[in-house]
Amino acid sequence: MLDIKTLLFASIAARAGFALFFLLFSMVGGARTAFLWWLLSISLSCQGLWLLYGSSASPSPEPLEGTIIYLIFGLSIACVWKGGAAYFDRRIPTDAVILAALGPATAYGGVTQLAPSEPFALVPVLLLMAFSLVRAALVFCNRATWRSPSQ
Give residue-wise pLDDT tens across range 86-145.
888 888 888 988 989 999 999 888 888 886 566 777 888 889 999 999 988 888 887 665
pLDDT above 60 for 55: yes
Cα(15)–Cα(18) distance, integer angstroms: 5
Cα(94)–Cα(116) distance, integer angstroms: 34
SS3 122: helix
What pLDDT shows up at residue 70?
92
Give residue-wise pLDDT tens across range 74-91.
999 999 999 988 888 888
pLDDT above 70 for 146: no
Tell me if 66 sits within 8 A of 28, measured CB to CB.
no
What pLDDT shows up at residue 77?
94
- The residues, any chain, with a CB within 8 Å of residue 11's CB and separated by 6 or more, are 49
SS3 1: coil
Provide the percentage of residues in the chain whose pLDDT is more than 70: 86
pLDDT above 90 for 73: yes
Show the 3-state SS of 23-91.
Answer: HHHHCCCCCHHHHHHHHHHHHHHHHHHHHHHHCCCCCCCCHHHHHHHHHHHHHHHHHHHHHHHHHCCCC
